[in-house]
């Protein structure tokens, strides 16, 4: 019996030492998560996305973002690095830009702009020529470019989700995002890049996983998703408030992802996952978050299935709130709106969901 107790004691000591001392990549910062109000108005659950159907992408998966090209076809970023082209539900390969492309926008000249989480900001012409137009700032590589928007003057605004947890170094965008959000170290930024002068300026810093970026129609401000802080920010580009930031919406019920311009001045926002009660409870306990990171991946907090998107105006008013309670298409990152259809982009899966606006 004494030998068995001794072995048990040794094992317990080893496990305790591992949980307390084993090195992990995160150095958590304490903060106070806002009290989660849950899915109440204006985010109350409904079934408005229940009739959405998927466009099958074949061998391509992870349609993270989409844009309408000058040729009126839809161009979608995928996990393999391929940009696929969709017309009348027909899917074809356009180009492979390498890395993991996330955000995509159509530039003023009709070319495609890509925020590639591995390679930086890329431009793709309609002839398929690929150019990396920005891959470092002041000699520091862009290790997690995420989303972008283009102003009416051609300035490109983009998010660097994390300067510490590079998407390629940490086994992909999803794993790197989990690390950055759990650390809450303020490694995210938003930049303005002038493709003519090649100059870059930092607009926002210290963000906790900077994510979606969109520019107002008149170019007077940008809206930015700060995923790890459950909020949407507004940064003024012109006018008396130029250079200042305000909180557009705080204490969101989920993790906001991409932001996309819609019709009539709308901004569409996708929620990749609902908030996790354990993560919120640990927000002011950095020590416990380190212990959680030492646990096997299978028992760590993970994203729960969710199908939820919203549309807001430039004042932060929620204009549309769309759910699918069955979460048939989970981890929605955003919305591409056309005159008669909403295309729902996603982190995972080989389908691009869509829903006719008349069905809403």
| Per-residue model confidence as pLDDT tens digits over 256-313 | 999 999 999 999 999 999 999 999 999 999 999 998 888 888 888 778 899 999 999 9
pLDDT tens-digit readout, 234-256 = 999 999 999 999 999 999 999 99
Q: What is the bridge-based pairing of β-strands 318-323 and 308-312?
A: antiparallel
- Going by C-alpha positions, the residue among 48, 46, 43, 44 that lies closest to residue 356 is 48
pLDDT at 358 over 60: yes
Whether residue 28 contacts residue 184, with contact meaning beta carbons closer than 8 Å, is answered with yes
* pLDDT of 12 above 70: no
Length of the chain in residues, anyone? 360
Q: How far is it, in rounded angstroms, from Cα 136 to Cα 114?
A: 15
Bridge partners of 249, per DSSP, are 232
Predicted pLDDT of residue 304: 87
Is the distance from CB of 209 to CB of 227 less than 8 angstroms?
yes
CA atoms of 353 and 350, how far apart (whole Å)? 10
For 172-221, the DSSP string reads: SHHHHHHHHHHHT---EEEEEE-TTT--EEEEEEEESSEEEEEE-TTSSE
- Domains within the chain, CATH numbers bracketed: 36-359 (2.120.10.30)
Check pLDDT > 80 for residue 23: no
d(CA 285, CA 334): 31
Angstrom CA distances, 309 to 42, 44, 102, 254, stand at 12, 12, 18, 10
Residue 59: pLDDT band (50, 70, 90) is very high
Residue 79 binned pLDDT confidence (cut-offs 50, 70, 90): very high
The arithmetic mean of pLDDT across residues 204-213, rounded, is 98
Q: How far apart are CA 230 and CA 63, in angstroms?
A: 23
β-sheet bridge partners, residue 158: 148, 191
Specify the pLDDT at position 229: 98
What 3-state class would DSSP assign to 62?
Answer: coil
Put simply, whether the predicted model's pTM sits higher than 0.85 gets the answer yes
Mean model confidence pLDDT for the chain: 94
């Amino acid at each position: 019996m004494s030998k068995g107790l001794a072995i048990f004691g040794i094992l317990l000591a080893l496990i305790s030492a591992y949980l307390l001392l084993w090195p992990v990549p995160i150095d958590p910062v304490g903060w106070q998560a806002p009290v989660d109000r849950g899915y109440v108005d204006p985010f109350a659950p409904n079934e408005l996305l229940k009739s959405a159907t998927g466009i099958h992408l074949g061998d391509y998966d992870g349609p993270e973002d989409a844009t309408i090209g000058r040729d009126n076809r839809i161009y979608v970023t995928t996990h393999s690095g391929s940009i696929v082209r969709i017309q009348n539900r027909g899917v074809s390969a356009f180009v492979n830009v390498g890395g993991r492309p996330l955000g995509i926008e159509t530039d003023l000249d009709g070319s495609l702009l890509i925020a590639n989480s591995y390679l930086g900001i890329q431009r793709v012409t309609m002839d398929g020529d690929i150019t990396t137009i920005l891959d470092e700032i002041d000699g520091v590589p862009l290790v997690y470019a995420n989303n972008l928007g283009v102003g009416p003057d051609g300035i490109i605004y983009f998010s660097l989700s994390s300067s510490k947890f590079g998407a390629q170094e940490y086994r992909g965008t999803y794993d790197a995002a989990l690390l950055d959000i759990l650390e809450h170290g303020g490694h995210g930024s938003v930049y303005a890049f002038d493709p003519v002068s090649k100059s870059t300026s930092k607009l926002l810093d210290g963000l906790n996983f900077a994510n979606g970026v969109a520019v107002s129609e008149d170019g007077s401000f940008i809206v930015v998703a700060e995923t790890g802080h459950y909020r949407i920010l507004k940064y003024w580009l012109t006018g008396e408030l130029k250079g200042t930031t305000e909180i557009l919406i705080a204490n969101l019920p989920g993790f906001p992802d991409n932001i996309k311009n819609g019709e009539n001045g709308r901004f569409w926002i996708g929620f990749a996952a609902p908030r996790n009660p354990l993560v919120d409870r640990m927000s002011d306990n950095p020590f416990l978050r380190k212990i959680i990171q030492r646990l096997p991946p299978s028992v760590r907090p993970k994203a729960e299935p969710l199908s939820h998107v919203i549309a807001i105006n430039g004042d932060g008013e929620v204009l549309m709130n769309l759910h699918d309670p069955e979460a048939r298409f989970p981890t929605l990152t955003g919305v591409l709106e056309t005159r008669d259809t909403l295309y729902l982009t996603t982190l995972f899966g080989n389908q691009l969901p869509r829903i006719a606006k008349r069905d809403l």
